[in-house]
Amino acid sequence: MAKRWLRKGVISTISAIALLAIEMVSVSATTTVIKGQTLHELCTTFPLNSQCQDFEAIPLSKRGGTTANCSFNSNNVEIQGECKIQVDQEGLLIHQEAGEGSSRWVRITPQKFNSFVYEDIEIDNVEKTLINYFLFGIAGAASTPKIKLAKIEINYNSQHRNTSTLVVIIGRDKGSELRSQLEKLTTPQVNTPAIPPQP
């Protein structure tokens, strides 16, 4: 019984660490990192702060879109957290968790896009690796498949023409789908000349 409890505790702890690893992207020493609960405290205390312009008391669970993990970086301020993403004719709409049943939203129109880079990535499935180790030993742990993810880095112009970066970590299938949508959204549309009617 004690061993089972210890095993469960270790798995839960390492799973939490793995989740943090997914959330984190490279951050310079001068960058201020803001996560959900901190953002909620900031925006409820200082609602006129520049980071709180699109802050709303609506939980992320009530928002539509595909679930991912987002990291916004603008002017050396980085906001990380779970998010939901939608692509429509007006561009990319992102709702991001802001703690205490609230969320913030960011709209990136096609005119604001500068570039985006897509990358297939893999991370260790720590929880399943531990389970397979306890069940099948070292061989079982070594044979555990990695988690296949996609990383999409989007550079865009935010307010006052500042260049901002959005990094999205998402499941591989959904990531490929999002890449196709972004390609269509950012590719200039060619207007076909109308054919004059025949006399």
* Planar angle of CA 97, 63, 173, nearest 5 degrees: 85
| pLDDT tens digits, one per residue of 128-146 | 999 999 999 999 899 999 9
d(CA 199, CA 184): 37
Where does the pLDDT of residue 39 fall: very low under 50, low under 70, confident under 90, or very high at 90 and above? Answer: low
| pLDDT tens digits, one per residue of 77-94 | 888 899 999 998 889 999
**Does the structure show a pLDDT above 60 at 73?**
yes
